[in-house]
């Protein structure tokens, strides 16, 4: 898979009926800029509201037979096949406008979406792809359902099903997921249901658009359809659903996913658990204010004895105001030599503490996750009074300018409300891999 983010080359549409609603609908795929991610738009509603692709936006009680996003009249049903197609193809940024409350079902697989997206063409973008790496196993068990992710350098999915039916029984399958294998081995697999459940599901207001043309139907003696695309088509479709539901993470996953009898609601709950465990949202680290010591170390490369901020207390992306503090202890290593008879915090370290608050604030913004902030310049530095053991150095930084690769902040450091230092700091914002010093 490409190391760069991808979107599509041009706008393209697909029309049909919705599987569960039976409504006529059209989905239009549009290119999106780097770091945009996925978003649905209800083009049929006033104001064209966005429906965010987020596990917290899934209505779990609506997601037993399908994955539904949003609430009220903005709700969008059965998004898993679309999301499986875009994630399976390695598309990172996409706007999906839907004229209706459900994308078209097509033939019940992800193939119709794959075909139109490939017809539109995929293009690389000038940003590295964000990925989610699993370093320690995460698992969840509930009522005979199981899901786990274990470390891997690639995406592999193993799925086991267990149906009390002579035509199915216990089966398992495992696939290494790449765009090529997804297109050939997974995308064509169609959704399925048991004939004995059809009337009950329809009585619940579902599968109004269902038929043998868009689903495999399993009767008492076996498949009613005579045109199976794969001998194990239903388990491949379960893997297709996992890819679609895990697209809610917001970035490609590097892991081996092991699933036993899992369905949409369980998949979504597990995605939420992954996000909580890793401290991410939409594929990026989540830094909730206050940002504590361990989370600061995820933003800044500094370590003892040069990590000079203890907590970030305020981050306002709208106004560009960042604040944090450093509690100055008599045990600071620099006090051994500055000065042995009169402990005073060096002015350059006060500046460094200010720079770390400003840098951490800038790097906490979503577009800067995974980057470094290197100090390029210091202007107008003034020191008003000494900082000594027992002081709490409170730093406030106001973002003056921000471009793709540079940021400028006005910083003020205070102790007990009195200004001790001030300066204007300029940073270079660079990708981590771009700063290899030899």
Which residues form the catalytic set?
264, 338
| Interior/surface letters 150-177, b for 16+ CB within 10 angstroms, e for the rest | eeeeebbbebbbeeeeeebeeeebebeb
80-88 vs 233-246: helix crossing angle, rounded to 10: 80
Neighbour count for residue 283 (Cβ, 10 Å): 22
| Interior/surface letters 30-54, b for 16+ CB within 10 angstroms, e for the rest | bbbebbebbbbbbeeeeeeeebebb
Neighbour count for residue 69 (Cβ, 10 Å): 23
Neighbour count for residue 9 (Cβ, 10 Å): 12
Q: Scanning the structure block, which residue is given the tokens 């009337």? A: 199
Which 3 state secondary structure label does DSSP give 271? helix
Which 3 state secondary structure label does DSSP give 353? helix
At CA 58, angle to CA 54 and CA 59, rounded to 5?
A: 165
| 122 Rama sector, left if φ>0, alpha if ψ -120 to 50, beta otherwise | beta
Neighbour count for residue 222 (Cβ, 10 Å): 11
For the chain, percent helix, then strand, then coil, each to nearest 5?
25, 35, 40
Residue 286 buriedness (CB in 10 A; 0-12 / 13-18 / 19+): middle
């Amino acid at each position: 898979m490409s190391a760069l983010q991808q979107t599509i080359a041009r706008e393209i549409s697909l029309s049909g009926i919705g599987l569960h609603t039976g409504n006529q609908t059209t989905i239009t795929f549009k290119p999106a800029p780097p770091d945009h991610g996925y978003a649905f738009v209800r083009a049929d509603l006033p104001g064209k509201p966005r429906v965010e692709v987020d596990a917290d936006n899934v209505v779990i009680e609506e997601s037993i037979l399908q994955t539904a996003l949003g609430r009220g009249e903005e709700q969008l049903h059965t998004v898993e096949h679309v999301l499986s197609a875009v994630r399976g193809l390695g598309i990172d940024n996409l706007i999906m406008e839907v004229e209706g409350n459900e994308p078209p079902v097509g033939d019940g697989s992800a193939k119709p979406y794959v075909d139109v997206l490939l017809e539109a063409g995929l293009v690389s973008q000038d940003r590295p792809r964000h990925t989610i790496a699993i370093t320690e196993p995460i698992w969840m068990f509930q009522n005979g359902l199981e899901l786990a992710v274990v470390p891997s350098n690639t995406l592999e999915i193993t799925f086991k099903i267990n149906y009390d039916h002579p035509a199915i029984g216990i089966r398992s399958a495992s696939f290494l997921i790449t765009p090529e294998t997804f297109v050939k081995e997974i995308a064509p697999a169609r959704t399925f249901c048991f004939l004995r459940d059809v009337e009950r599901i329809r009585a619940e207001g579902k599968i109004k658009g269902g038929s043998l043309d868009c689903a495999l139907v399993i009767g008492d003696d076996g498949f009613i359809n005579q045109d199976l695309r794969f001998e194990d088509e239903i388990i491949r479709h379960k893997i297709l659903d996992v890819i679609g539901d895990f697209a809610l993470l917001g970035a490609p996953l590097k892991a081996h996913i092991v699933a036993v009898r899992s369905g949409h609601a369980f998949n979504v709950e597990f995605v939420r658990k992954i996000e909580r465990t890793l401290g991410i949202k939409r594929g990026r680290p989540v830094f909730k204010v206050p940002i504590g010591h361990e989370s600061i170390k995820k933003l800044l490369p500094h370590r003892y004895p040069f990590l000079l901020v203890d907590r970030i207390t305020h981050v306002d992306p709208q106004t560009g105001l960042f604040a944090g503090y450093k509690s100055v202890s008599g045990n600071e290593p620099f006090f051994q030599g500055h000065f042995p008879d009169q402990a005073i915090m060096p002015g350059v370290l006060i500046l460094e503490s200010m720079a770390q608050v400003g840098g951490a604030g800038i790097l906490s913004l979503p577009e800067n996750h995974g980057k470094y902030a290197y100090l390029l310049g210091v202007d107008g530095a003034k020191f008003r009074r000494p900082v000594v053991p027992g002081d709490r150095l409170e730093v406030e930084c106001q973002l003056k300018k921000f471009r793709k690769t540079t940021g400028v902040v006005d910083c003020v450091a205070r102790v007990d409300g009195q200004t001790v230092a001030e300066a204007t700091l300029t940073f270079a914002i660079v990708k981590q891999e771009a700063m290899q010093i030899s």
